[in-house]
Amino acid sequence: MDCLFCAIIKGDIPSGKVYEDEYCYAFMDINPQAPKHCLIVPKLHIASADEITEENSVYVSKIFEAVPKVAKLLDLSDGYRIISNVGEHGCQSVKHLHFHILGGKKLSENMG
Residues that bind ligand AMP (CB under 6 A): 4, 13, 15, 27, 29-31, 39, 85, 91-94
Binds 56: which of ligand AMP, Zn ion, none (CB < 5-8 Å by kind) = none
CB of 21 to Zn ion, least distance (A): 17
| Interaction of residue 7 with Zn ion, rule CB under 5 A | no
15 is a contact residue toward Zn ion (CB under 5 A): no
Q: Are strands 17-20 and 36-42 parallel, antiparallel or unpaired?
A: unpaired
Residue 42 to residue 48: CA distance in whole angstroms: 10
Cα–Cα distance measured from residue 109 to residue 82, given in angstroms and rounded to the nearest whole number: 13
* 92-111: contacts with Zn ion (CB under 5 A): 96
- Beta bridge pairs of residue 62: none
Q: Which does 6 bind (CB under 5 to 8 A by kind): ligand AMP, Zn ion, none?
A: Zn ion
Cα separation, 28 vs 110, in Å, equals: 23
- Residues with active-site annotation: 98
